[in-house]
Amino acid sequence: MAQSFESWWEKLGPITKIILVLSVCITIVGSSGVVSPYKLIVDFNLTVFSFQIWRIVTAAFYLGNFSFPWLMALAMLVTYVKLHEESEFQGRRADFVWMLTLLITFLTVVAWIFSLPLVSFALTMSLCWIFCKRNPTAKLSIYFFEFSANIFPWALLAFHVVLGQSVMDDVAGIVAGHGFLFLHDMLPKTHGMKLVETPQFIKTWIPHQRLFGSVHSGVHAVAPAGRQPLNEQPAHRNWGQGRVLGTR
């Protein structure tokens, strides 16, 4: 029996809902012509020296203009945010928000260095990497090919290479995700160092609350479609081709 949108919406966690609405709203703004897409992407000089701080947020959740590839990209982003919120961060909203903050911050710096226009696709890959490493027995698929989660990100990256797509976002996302796992999961066990613990003020601002059941043991993903280019591109930018990662 098909699930209604209302039922599906009610099952989403608050952070997943916020990211979904935020991404859709940013897309509406960029697609409608109210704001130039260029005002939503990464730009170091304008962010730092003109105080256009909103670019850090918009570049993290802008997936291009409305299209089928955009829909697939949004579904993937929502899927991995939802999986994290329902599994490792069940009842730990503050910790999840802090992880997202760290990932976006790191990826924004990488985007500044390598002139990447958006952070959203790399963020999605970083969430995929973290989920797969923490749930290595989960099953995910690219079209008709199923992979264990422990090798799924590499299979997805290889698929992008075969399609001739840019893998810079994938690589940046993998580095960010692995870096977080090293600092958050490994260092405390091997050296007793807790370098990325959630600050107390965030825990006070976002109280923990248990909301969900356990994560599903099996996750299915669909293969990527090419990322839609933005309508307006500055001449010095190399946008390349993007991708959509897996979704359930």
- Burial label for 224, CB within 10 Å (0-12, 13-18, 19+), is buried
Residue from 169, 93, 98 nearest 128 by CA: 169
What is the model's pLDDT at position 209?
58
What is the model's pLDDT at position 213?
41
Instruction: Indicate if the pLDDT at residue 245 is higher than 50.
Output: no
Instruction: Indicate if the pLDDT at residue 21 is higher than 90.
Output: yes
Give the pLDDT band of residue 230 (cuts 50, 70, 90). Answer: low
What is the model's pLDDT at position 105?
97
CB 234 within 8 A of CB 208: no
Domain assignment present for residue 72? The answer is: yes
Domain assignment present for residue 236? The answer is: no
* pLDDT mean across residues, the chain: 84
Domain assignment present for residue 226? The answer is: no
In total, how many domains does the chain have?
1
We report the CATH number of the domain holding residue 133 as 1.20.1540.10
Instruction: Indicate if the pLDDT at residue 211 is higher than 50.
Output: no
What is the model's pLDDT at position 232?
45
What is the model's pLDDT at position 46?
96
Domain assignment present for residue 188? The answer is: yes
Contacts 24+ apart (CB under 8 A), 187-196: 196/98, 196/102
How do residues 35-81 score in pLDDT, each as one tens digit?
999 999 999 999 999 999 999 999 999 999 999 989 988 998 999 99
Domain assignment present for residue 173? The answer is: yes
Domain assignment present for residue 160? The answer is: yes
DSSP 34: S
Averaged pLDDT for residues 155-160: 87
The Cα 110–Cα 161 span in angstroms is: 21
Q: Determine the distance from the C-alpha atom of residue 191 to the mean position of all C-alpha atoms in its chain, rounded to a whole number.
A: 29
What is the residue-wise DSSP string for 63-108?
--SSSHHHHHHHHHHHHHHHHHHHTTTTT-HHHHHHHHHHHHHHHH
What is the model's pLDDT at position 227?
56
Strand partners of residue 141:
146
How do residues 75-128 score in pLDDT, each as one tens digit?
989 999 999 999 889 889 999 999 999 999 999 999 999 999 999 999 999 999
Give the pLDDT band of residue 234 (cuts 50, 70, 90). Answer: very low
Domain assignment present for residue 245? The answer is: no
Q: Which residue has the higher pLDDT, 243 or 119?
A: 119
Domain assignment present for residue 165? The answer is: yes
B/e letters for 102-116, b = 16+ CB within 10 Å, e = fewer, are bbbebbbebbeeeeb
CB 149 within 8 A of CB 127: no
Residue from 105, 16, 20, 23 nearest 62 by CA: 23
Instruction: Indicate if the pLDDT at residue 246 is higher than 50.
Output: no
What is the model's pLDDT at position 151?
93
- What domain range includes position 148? 5-205
Give the pLDDT band of residue 198 (cuts 50, 70, 90). Answer: very high
